[in-house]
């Protein structure tokens, strides 16, 4: 059974992220764009999802609350040292944070890993970071033809609030502008927790804590 863990995206991840980006999208970002974004951690946030190809030393992640309050997601011991290169990046996501708004810039999952709830996992992690930084609303653009992505966003309360004409440079396709409700409203928090719980139940023991350096060196 595959296992997965989340880590902050770092400069050394960009080449691998770019490879997955090219598999996901017809208009992938250049590596220089990711490198530029990562130089602004005060206003940006980027995360990678890795598949643990070795036995996960830290066990399954449990849902819990922490000092951020009820909207917290997973108590992951996010590593700051270089990741183990044997654990491939199979997903990524990012956003800009501007005052009380968060703008999702990208979410991608390797085509071979789709259909397993991993895109939803990445979206949830963006929501958690957005609220931890004081955001109240989340917005994004999505291709008008991308029905599966729109269904996921509607599941989390997003609604369409306009169209950006010929937004995508590869084929001139329009993009819907979608906005979440206020993610701090108690009713929305309850909705979020129900969805989060269902996802954790679906993933079961597949979501694990990021391996620490001592575990990596002893494996």
Active-site pick, 101, 136, 141, 173: 141
Tell me how far CA of residue 184 lies from CA of 38, 66, 95, 150, 179, in angstroms.
27, 16, 18, 22, 14
Q: What is the C-alpha separation between 99 and 145, in angstroms, rounded?
A: 31
Active-site pick, 5, 46, 153, 176: 153
Could you tell me which of 63, 83, 66 has the C-alpha nearest to residue 212?
83
Q: Is 153 a catalytic residue?
A: yes
Q: Is 141 a catalytic residue?
A: yes
Q: What is the C-alpha separation between 138 and 11, in angstroms, rounded?
A: 25
Could you tell me which of 123, 117, 113, 121 has the C-alpha nearest to residue 51?
113
Catalytic residue ranges: 141, 153
């Amino acid at each position: 059974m595959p296992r997965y863990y989340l880590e902050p995206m770092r400069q050394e991840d960009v080449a691998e992220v770019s490879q997955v980006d090219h598999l996901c999208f017809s208009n992938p970002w250049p590596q220089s764009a990711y490198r530029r974004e990562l130089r602004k951690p005060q206003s940006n946030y980027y995360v990678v999802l890795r598949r643990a190809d070795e036995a996960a030393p830290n066990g399954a992640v449990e849902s819990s609350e922490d000092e951020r309050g009820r909207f917290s997601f997973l108590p992951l011991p996010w590593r700051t040292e270089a990741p183990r290169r044997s654990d491939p990046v199979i997903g990524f996501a990012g956003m800009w944070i501007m005052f009380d708004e968060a703008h999702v810039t990208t979410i991608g999952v390797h085509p071979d890993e789709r259909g397993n709830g991993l895109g939803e996992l990445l979206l949830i992690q963006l929501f958690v970071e957005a609220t931890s930084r004081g955001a109240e609303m989340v917005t994004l653009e999505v291709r008008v033809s991308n029905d599966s992505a729109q269904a996921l966003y509607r599941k989390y309360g997003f609604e369409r609030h306009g169209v950006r004409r010929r937004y995508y440079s590869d084929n001139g396709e329009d993009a819907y502008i979608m906005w979440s409700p206020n993610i701090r409203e108690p009713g929305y928090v309850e909705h979020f927790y129900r969805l989060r719980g269902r996802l954790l139940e679906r993933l079961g023991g597949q979501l694990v804590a990021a391996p620490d350096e001592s575990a990596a060196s002893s494996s």
